[in-house]
Structure 1
């Protein structure tokens, strides 16, 4: 987690995203990021002094309906730390995930799931689709951490994930703590995939 190469990889992955320069609760974005800033973040992490900032809560319209879902927008530094954590989680869990799992994984999607079904499930006439409403909004932090601890021995990394989950959010200038749920977005996707696997 403290090697500069992984931070460069994380920055490259998220800076190309149009939301990379979207500001969170402060002016801290990924625009104009420097190696000095990365060194400062790494220093805070090694000294256990890094503090996540509450995300800025906004609402976006769901693609499939006119309903809105909450979205937490973290600061630039937090986005980068989350992406580094996501890359590390991906390296740990990707080799052990089921080949039938397609959600929140690199080079996989609903389309790859459909292709696999088309190839392997010949003769099947009916499928049922299920959606666990509000699953990511209500996921128990303790359960997710317990699952992570089964595979990860690094207590500092686990503590970082806990702090990430408990950062809370600001909505209309009011702070709201988070007791359950995970942030919505690509940075936390690997942890969500872990939950779906177990």
Structure 2
């Protein structure tokens, strides 16, 4: 499973993905490149993602591990992907999410945009 297959990726979708990642903010990944640094060479960086995803040669980098303190004194591990990987992940989301939304059941609420467990309980109590 080390082979990726070519995939048609529109440059417009890569740009929209960048805009979404930029709006979400976030810190640098394991490569140390933050949003500002990434944007300073944006055209080249987005072309590289587009080219690799289109040719099937894109592979994500390792994530940066950060430990977040928990209220009880423990720590929760958090993996921070590189900016490049966040853009690539958003490209995938933009292609896959609409196709999946079309086949999900109306009463499916888990991990879906604009839906939550609380929405589910509100709807269920109304239907009963």
Range of TM-score over shorter length: 0.7 to 0.9
Look up the SS of the partner of 2:123 in the other structure: helix
What RMSD over aligned residues (CA atoms) do the two structures have, in Å?
A: 2.0
- Separation in 1 of the partners of 2:99 and 2:45? 27
Which digits, 9 at most, give the CA deviation of each residue in 1:48-71, with x for residues without a partner? 332311001122346xx6353322
Match of 2:35 in 1: 30
Distance 1:56 1:3 in 2: 29
Match of 1:151 in 2: none
SS at match of 2:78: strand
Structure 2 residue matching 1:36: 3-state secondary structure: helix
Unaligned regions of 5+ residues in structure 1, if any? 122-198
Q: What's the offset of the Cα at 1:6?
A: 1.2
Instruction: List gaps (5 residues or longer) in structure 2.
Output: 1-7
Q: Contact 2:14/2:50 (CA < 8 Å) preserved in 1?
A: no
Separation (CA, whole Å) in 1 of partners of 2:118 and 2:22: 25
- For residue 50 of structure 1, what is the aligned residue in structure 2? 58
Superposed structure 1 runs of 4+ greater than 6 Å apart: none
Q: TM-score, normalised by structure 2?
A: 0.77
1:11 to 2:18 alignment:
yes
Number of residues of Structure 1 aligned to a counterpart in Structure 2: 117
TM-score by length of 1: 0.52
The aligned counterpart of 1:170 is none
**Could you tell me which of 84, 90, 112 is aligned with 2:97?**
90
Q: 1:24 is paired with a residue of what secondary structure?
A: coil
SS in 1 for 2:66: strand
Provide the rounded CA distance (Å) in 2 between the counterparts of 1:87 and 1:111.
25
| Contact in 2 for aligned 1:24/1:74 (Cα 8 Å) | yes
- Find the aligned partners of 2:110 and 2:33 in 1 and give their Cα distance: 30
Which of 45, 68, 77 aligns to 2:84? It is: 77
Change (3 A) 1:94 1:75: same
